Amino acid sequence: MTGDRIALIRLVAICAAWAFGEALARQLGAYGLDVVVPALLAAAAYVATRDLGWSGSDTAYWRGRPIDRDRWRR
């Protein structure tokens, strides 16, 4: 998957979690928590999808080139 597709999937998951949280708060009649519950569920969706699509390497890139971290540790 490309990075754009992964970002779109994450956005849809976060928006769906927010909508589900709003519906849940309204159905339970917790109108005072109608912002807190969706925000908590959206944050949980963000955390749950943060590793989506990563290959597992810790290589960082800057302007398309890998950063040599050992160069700066001397």
Q: What are the tens digits of pLDDT across the range 35-68?
A: 999 999 999 999 998 876 555 455 566 666 666 6
Local confidence band at 27 (pLDDT 50, 70, 90 cut-offs)? very high
What was the pLDDT predicted at 2? 73
What count of other Cβ atoms lies within 10 Å of the Cβ of residue 37?
19
Q: Which residue has the higher pLDDT, 66 or 6?
A: 6
How much is the pTM? 0.67
pLDDT at 7: 86
Is 71 within 8 Å of 54 (Cβ atoms)?
no
| Residue partners of 46: CB distance under 8 A and separation at least 6 | 10, 14
Q: At what angle do helices 3-28 and 36-48 cross, to 10 degrees?
A: 150
More confident residue, 72 or 10: 10
